[in-house]
Amino acid sequence: MEKATFGAGCFWGVEAAFQKIKGVQFTTVGYMGGSLKNPTYEDVCTNTTGHAEVVHIIYDEKIISYEQLLDTFWNIHNPTQLNRQGPDRGTQYRSVIFYHNDVQKKVAENSKKKHQTSGRYKKKIVTEIIKAQTFYPAEEYHQKYLEKHGNSGCML
């Protein structure tokens, strides 16, 4: 099993999109990329922790590749919006790929270049590609949120 971590706006919708993919074994929403240890949702919403809302994915690379996961990542949000997705604003909603090894870094960089030059986006892609840091799982009520509550209050 391999792991992947992506931030693409509200983590509820991001998780729901990746849960549906064959080969994705587990998803967990949480926070990564900031300086505060053990942040809460309320902490992250202050826009002062540096953390992004992310989905942490465990996947079977024999069934789905990292590049295929990246294709989903690009398709579920607008990577040209800085620190926001739809009505959600703040650094916690930024577009970010947290890579877990050098191979993922290279694949992510190539994927970003491919999408930037595809003609799909008129603006520059602002997605950050950063080495994975400590992942802090979000509170239980955020896990599988849309599966439990339906699509209320989320863009996807």
> What 3-state class would DSSP assign to 141?
helix
- Categorise residue 78: left if φ over 0, alpha if ψ from -120 to 50, beta otherwise: beta
Which among 2, 5, 8, 10 is annotated as catalytic? 10
Q: Are strands 88-89 and 24-32 parallel, antiparallel or unpaired?
A: unpaired
Q: What ranges in 95-141 are assigned the alpha helix state H?
A: 102-116
For residue 154, indicate whether it is catalytic: no
SS3 61: coil
Distance, in Å, from the CA atom of 94 to the CA atom of 52, rounded to the nearest integer, reads 7
Whether the Cβ atoms of residue 91 and residue 50 lie closer than 8 Å to each other: yes
> What amino acid positions are annotated as catalytic residues?
10
